[in-house]
Amino acid sequence: MAKDNTDIWTMKGLKWSILVASCFFFACSQPASESKEEQLPTDSMTVVNGVERTELALLMRKMYDEMALVKDSIKEGFTVKTNFLNEFKRIQTAHATEPEKIDATYKAMADAFLINYELFESSQGEQAKAFNSMLQNCLVCHENKCPGPVKAIKKLRIKP
Ligand code: HEC
């Protein structure tokens, strides 16, 4: 890829462009989401930018935003110390937009993700490798359950 562009992309502007862009391409499948909204229970819902979001969607959004920051820091050569494991464990229990997606397969993939997230948090050196392995677990679940954000998640990979 063009090396001269990397500076622009690693600067703070990137974080904002991620936040802005994330409003557009993050639904599991964009067109279907509108028609479902009315059937959802309201107690586990929060309104963000005029769009109602479930607890799981908000948690996922946070995971994405945090992992984008982590990626930038690792790329810039920093050693990253995060402490999100307990919070991210909520992917096992948080209410989802489509609760039928939370089946045994989801739970197994969520376990695998959390194991890899823990490995990343405890990694000494080789952080990029541990980060990419953890990200692979985001992708496995997304390819199965929620393909919308796959492209965006792939962009978080740290290239060697
Ligand atoms: C075990 C399965 C699973 C794993 C692991 C997983 N996701 Fe998700 N993700 C989902 C599901 C299901 C949704 C839909 C949530 C909803 O709409 O309630 C979702 C939604 C999202 C969204 C869209 C949120 C929104 O604004 O609507 C993003 C972004 C996302 N995930 C990123 C990630 C990232 C980054 C990781 C890894 C750090 C990850 N996910 C790991 C299943 C998973």
Using the mean position of ligand 1's atoms as its centre, give its distance from the Cα of residue 142 in Å: 7
Structure tokens at 57: 């969607």
- pLDDT, the chain, mean: 82
With a cut of 70, say whether residue 3 has pLDDT above it: no
**pLDDT for the residue 160:** 82
Residues in the ligand 1 pocket, defined by CB under 6 Å: 26-28, 54, 56-57, 60-61, 63-64, 67, 91, 96-97, 101, 106, 109-110, 113, 137-138, 141-142, 145-146, 149, 153
Beta-carbon contacts of 107 under 8 Å, excluding residues fewer than 6 positions away, are 92
Across 45-58, average pLDDT: 78
Percent of the chain scoring above 90 in pLDDT = 64
Using the mean position of ligand 1's atoms as its centre, give its distance from the Cα of residue 3 in Å: 31
Question: Measuring CA to CA, how many Å separate 51 from each of 2, 26, 46, 48, 59?
Answer: 36, 12, 8, 5, 15
Residue nearest to atom 37 of ligand 1 (CA): 138
Residue predicted with more confidence, 6 or 58: 58
Residue nearest to atom 36 of ligand 1 (CA): 138
CB 160 within 8 A of CB 75: no
Q: Which of 142, 153, 154, 157 to mutate to test the pocket of ligand 1 (most atoms within 8 A of CB)?
A: 142
Structure tokens at 33: 């989401």
Using the mean position of ligand 1's atoms as its centre, give its distance from the Cα of residue 20 in Å: 17
With a cut of 60, say whether residue 156 has pLDDT above it: yes
Q: Is 115 helix (H, G, I), strand (E, B) or coil?
A: helix
Question: Measuring CA to CA, how many Å separate 123 from each of 72, 110, 119, 129?
Answer: 17, 20, 6, 9
